[in-house]
């Protein structure tokens, strides 16, 4: 699978997705740590991709996203932004409803 196709698939299959260095529990950079912490504080599950384990994605994603840095938060197929934007939205109370609503819209229907 081409790297761009892999990125598109990850973004389409995960309604809340963080591309970061490391993992939420063991981040490998301060910016990724702050972004993951803000997301965890929203209280919803989210997917992540460790770009250090995926050098192809690390190389291709900035061009695809037209965003040069990591972390990158994607919600329902749209790039939200990087660390500064994530933290600013969290502090303003804008991130929490965005994440909560995305999780609710994409929750499996109760039978």
- Is 5 annotated in a binding site? The answer is no
- Grouping H, G, I as helix, E, B as strand and the rest as coil, residue 87 is helix
- Is 42 annotated in a binding site? The answer is no
- Is 29 annotated in a binding site? The answer is yes
The tokens for 90 are 């969290």
- Is 83 annotated in a binding site? The answer is yes
36, 7 contact by CB (below 8 A): no
Q: Extract the runs of DSSP E, i.e. beta strands, from the chain.
A: 16-20, 47-50, 72-75, 78-81
Closest by Cα among 111, 101, 4, 1 to 57: 4
Name the binding residues. 21, 29, 58, 70, 83-84
Name the binding residues for glutathione. 21, 58, 70, 83-84
Name the binding residues for [2Fe-2S] cluster. 29
């Amino acid at each position: 699978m081409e790297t761009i196709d892999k990125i598109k698939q990850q973004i389409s299959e995960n309604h809340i997705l963080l591309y970061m260095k490391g993992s939420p529990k063991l981040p490998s950079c301060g910016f990724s740590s702050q972004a993951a912490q803000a997301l965890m504080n929203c209280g919803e599950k989210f997917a992540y991709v460790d770009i250090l384990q995926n050098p192809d994605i690390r190389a291709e994603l900035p061009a695809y996203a037209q965003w040069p840095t990591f972390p990158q938060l994607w919600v329902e197929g749209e790039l939200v932004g990087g660390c500064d934007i994530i933290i600013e939205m969290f502090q303003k109370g804008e991130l929490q409803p965005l994440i909560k609503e995305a999780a609710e819209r994409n929750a499996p229907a109760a039978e």
